[in-house]
Structure 1
Amino acid sequence: MRSPVAALRRSANRSLGVMVGVGTAILSVAALGIGQPVFAPLFFALFIIAVVWPLQARLERWMPGLLALLLTMIAAIVLFGAFAFLISWAFSHVARYTVSESAQFQVLYERVTQWLAGHGVDVSSLWTEHFNAGWLLAAAQRITTVLNSMLSFSLVVLIYVVIGLLEVEDTIARLQRMRDSTLAFVLLTGGARIAAKFRRYMAVRTLMSLITGLLVWGFVALCGVPLAREWGIIAFAFNYIPVIGPALATLFPTMFAIAQFDSLQSAVFVFAVLNLIQFLVGSYMEPRVAGNVLAMSPFLVLLSVFFWTWLWGLGGAFIGVPIAIAILTFCEVHPASRWVSELFGAEPEERPT
C-alpha cells in the first residue's frame, strides 16, 4: 500500500510544479511587455529572415555571400518601402479629402449630435472640451512621436535582419554539432518547417489581401463612395492584420459613406457588403488556398491576435499569428508536446520519427 506521506509528497510536488509553471508564465509575459523595445524587433527580424533566406541562399550559388546579402536586403527594403509608400499615399489622400470636405462632415456631426440629444445623450460639451486647438496640437505631436518610433523600430529590425542573415549558416552548423541530438532535431526540423510555413503564410496572406483590396475598390467605386482606390489599398494593407485589420478596413469607408449618402440604409448596405467581402475571402477562400498546413483553431487565432495586441500594440496584432504558428510547429515536432499541435492546429503532414 502507498503510504499517506508519499501520496502527500506527490500531491505537494504536483502543486508546486503547477505554481512554478504559472509563475514562470506570468514572469515571461511581464518580461516580454517590459522588454518590447528589444523583443518586438527581434521577433519581426526572425520572421523576415525566415521569409527572405531562400532568396539569399539561391543568390549565394552564383555570387559571394556579402553580395548576395546586399541584394537580398535591397530587395526586401524596396518591397517594404513600396508597401509603406502605398499606405502613406492612401492615408494622405484620405486626410486631404477629410480637410477639404470638413463642412460636410460638420453637417454630419450636427445631425448625429441632434439625434443623440433627442435620445438623451449630450456630446456637444465633449466636443467643446476636447476637440480644440490644444487637442489638435497634442494629436499632431503624438503622430510625430509614433512616426519617430516606427523609424527607430525599423532601423533596429534592419540591424537584426542583417546580423541574422549572416549567422544562418553558422547557426545551422552549430545545431548539427550539438550533443543533444533530440534538441538539435527539434530545432533544425522545427526551424525549417516554421520558415516554410512563414513563407506560405505570407504568400497566402498577400494573395488574399490583393483579392480583398480589388473587391473593395470595385464595390466602393460602384457605389459612388469617394476615394475608391484609396479604400482598396487600405483594405489590402489592413488585411495583413488578422481580425482587427478587416474590421478597420470596413469601418472607415462606411463612415465616409454615411457622410456621402443622405440615407442611412445606403451606408448600412455598404457596411454589410464590405463585411461580406471580408468574410468570403477570409473564411471561405483563404482556408482553401492555405490548406491544412496553416490550419489553426479559431480560438487560438483570436487569442494570439488579442494577446499580442495587448502586449505590443498593432505590431503585435500582425506578429501574433506567426508566433502561434512557430509554437505549434515546435510542438508538432517534439513527441512530448505533439498533443498541443493536434489540439490547436493541423495534423502534421509527415510525422517526425
Structure 2
Amino acid sequence: MQANSLLIQNARLYTHVDTGEIGWLFVEGNKISALGQGNAPQQVLDISARKIDAAKCALLPGFIDLHVHGAMGYDTMDASPEGLHQMARFYASHGVTAFLATTWTAPREHILTALQAVAETVGIIPGGAALLGAHLEGPYINPAKCGAQNAQWIRRASKEEALQFLDTGVVHLVALAPEFPENLWLIDECARRDITVAAGHTMAGLEEIRRAVEHGLRQVTHCFNGMLGFGHREPGTVGAAMVLPEIACELIADNIHVHPAAQKILVEVKGTEGVILITDAIRGAGLPDGEYPMDERKVTIRAGEVRLPDGSLAGSVLTMERGLQNICLASGRPLEQVWRMSSLNAARALGIHQRKGSLEVGKDADLVLLDNEFKVCLTVVEGTVVFENLESGQA
C-alpha cells in the first residue's frame, strides 16, 4: 500500500461541478490524485490503497475555522502547545481540517506568549486539524462594542506593539476597529504582508468602512455581533458589509448569536461566496454545561449558550458541522450551494485557496464525510485519516 493511499467510493461529491452525484475520490500522499462520478475506474481500483465505502454520505472539503478560541477546557490564551493539540483533535472530530487559533484582548505579554505558543505548534498536528496560524482578535477594538472582550485592555494600535505581534510570523487575520485613525496604519501594514484584516468589535459606519476598504480591509468579524447595526439613515457596519463587494462576512450560525431569518438575509444579500462560517468557540466547547474561566472572569454554559454574569454572550460552543446544517436550514439552500461557506470562502480569505478549500486534483487532501444528519463520519487532513466514526462494513 502506498503511503496515505486512500480510495473513497460511493460518496456524494460536492465540488464546483458535482452537486451531490455519487462518485469517488482517490488520495495519494497528501494530495487529491483523482476523482470522478460513478464508479472508480479499474486502474484506480487496482492500486493498493485503503478503500472506504461512503454509503452515499456527503464528501466535502474539510472545514476551515478561522475564528475559534478553544475547546475541551483549553484556550489559545493559555499559551500551551499541549492545549493547542487537544483543541486540534477536538476540531478534527467535528470535520475541521485547518484552523486559526484566536487570541483576545489582553496585556501585551499575554498575547505575545500565546502567539509564540502558536509559532511552536503551527503545522500538522497528529490526530488533529492543521494549525494554520493565529487570528489576532483585539486588542485594537472599540470599547463600546467590546462584548466579552476585556475592556480594561483595549487600546489603539501602537507600532511597537503591533509589529511585535506581526513579526511572530503566525498572524494571518487581524480584527480591529477601523473607525480609529490610529488603527489605519495597521491595515496598511497587514495588507503589505498579505495578512487579512477584519472590522470587528467596532462602531464604524458606512463611510468609515469604505475608507478602511481603501486601506485593505476585506472582512467583518462575526457579522451582526459586536458591531454597529443596520439603520436606514446610517447603514452601520452591518449595512456596509452587505453593500460593499470587497467585504466577506464571518457568521456564527448557532441560531443564538444570529436569528435564522437574519442568516437568510445575509446569504441572500452577500451570496454563498460572501459568507464565511465560523464557530467562535471557547474552552467550554465539548464539555458539559457549567461554569468555566475566561481570563479572570467566569462564563456559564447552558443549553448551548455561553454568557458572562451580566448576560452578555461570550463566544459559543458551536461546531462547524452544526453551523453548516443550521445555515442550510436557515437559508433554505441545499448543500451544493452552501458547502463553500465552511471551507472555500475561508481559504480565499486567507489566500490559500490554491491548495485548500475545495475537492480538486492537486489540492491538499483535506476531507470530511457527513451522513444525512450532518454527523461527521470521517476527517482526513492532508491525506491522513485523523478521525473516523464509520459504520461497520463501510471501511
TM-score by length of 2: 0.24
Query: Which has the larger share of helix?
Result: 1
Question: Quick one: higher RCO (CA 8 Å, sep 6+), 1 or 2?
Answer: 2
Q: Over alpha carbons, which structure has the higher Rg?
A: 1
TM-score by length of 1: 0.26
Query: Which has the larger share of strand?
Result: 2
